[in-house]
Structures are given as C-alpha cells and as structure tokens.
Amino acid sequence: MRAWLHRALLHRAARPVPWLLCLAPLAGLAWGAFAGRLGANPAEALICGLGDWALRGLWLTLAVTPLREITGLAALARLRRPLGVSSFGYASLHLLAYGWLDMGLVPGDIAADIARRPFILMGFTAWALMLPLAATSFNRAAKALGARRWRALHRTVYAIAVVALLHFVWMRAGKHDFTEPAVYGAVLAGLLGWRLWHGVGRG
C-alpha cells in the first residue's frame, strides 16, 4: 500500500491535485459570497474564512515533514509547496479583504489601525514575514540562494506560525472565545516539539 501511494503521489497526473484541493475552499467562499450564503455579516465571514484557511494551510505545511517521516512516504514532500504558497495566498486575500471591506482601502486608516490594534499588527507582521518565503518557494530562487541559506530562511516558518497564532488568539480575545485558538496552539506545540525532538538541523 505504501509503495502504491508513493507512486501515485509522484505520478504526473497527481501534480495539479494538491493545488486544486487548496483552491477548493476559496471557490466555496466565493460561491457563498455570490449566492448570499455567508450569514448576517458576509464581510466578517469572508475575512475570517480567508484567515482560517491561511492558518490551516500554514499548519498543514508544518505537518508535512513529520507525516513524511512517520509514514515513510518521501513523496509527501511534494505537498509542502502547494500548501505553503496557498497559505500565503489566503493570508494575502485575508489582508486584502480586511483592507477593502473593513477599511475601504484607505492607506492612512489601515496604517493607523495596524498601529492601534495589536492583533492587526500581529496579522500584518505574519503576512510580511511570509512574503520572502513565498517569493523564494520556487526552484530558481532556492538555487540562487543556495541550499543552506534557503533552508535557514524557510525555517522561520515556525516563528511565523507563532506570530499568526498570537494574531488569532488576540482576535478571539475580544469575543472571549479561546476554544479554537487552543486547538491550534496544541497542534503547533506538538509540531514544534516534534521538530525539537528530531533536531533543528533536519529538513
């Protein structure tokens, strides 16, 4: 079974599948907005939905290496790029939706809001830190940077996840709802613990 899964993941026909799966939530949100099915506050639902999928994509990206090691399926590494790039895409759309639907795309108001509210600052910081990772997620960039520098840069994804979690926790603090952030925090703690246990020098 493992050998069959390995071959299936490496098959040429399987290459677009992860990208299509990553786009499916966006299609669902777009259809919900078009059909008026995002509830009483569609703007908030869209902003939060995009942010949720940015977090999920980031956590799944971090989970690829542990799953690869545990299952012995080296081909799972091919999922990391679609998940990471999609996470950045959802984070960018999350930021755009906030700037447009909440702030009317007024740069001064957006800048003032970032400076005034810590959870907005944390969200913007996480996005800004993701930007160089997304820009260097392709083979040419990795070759230009060199393997050592590329790996060092992309290990900052763990710090980005912590900042993104702080954004989520502070956002939910206003509603006194910490259940979902606690789940994300527990999963992140497990992933970080696995990373430390297996040594920071591994891929």
Tokens of 36: 């008026």
pTM, 2 dp: 0.92
pLDDT digits (tens, 9 = 90+) for 51-91: 999 999 999 999 999 999 888 888 888 899 999 999 999 99
Query: What are the sequence ranges of the domains in the chain?
Result: 2-198
- Looking at 40-106, list the stretches that DSSP marks H as alpha helix, in order from N- to C-terminal side: 42-71, 80-97
pLDDT digits (tens, 9 = 90+) for 123-138: 999 999 999 999 998 8
Report the length, in residues, of the chain.
Answer: 203
Tokens of 170: 């502070």
Report how far residue 178's alpha carbon sits from residue 141's, in angstroms, rounded to the nearest whole number.
39
Written as one letter, the residue type at 157 is V
pLDDT digits (tens, 9 = 90+) for 170-195: 999 877 888 999 999 999 999 999 98
Contacts 24+ apart (CB under 8 A), 97-102: 97/43, 97/46, 97/47, 97/50, 98/47, 98/123, 101/43, 101/46, 101/47, 102/43, 102/47
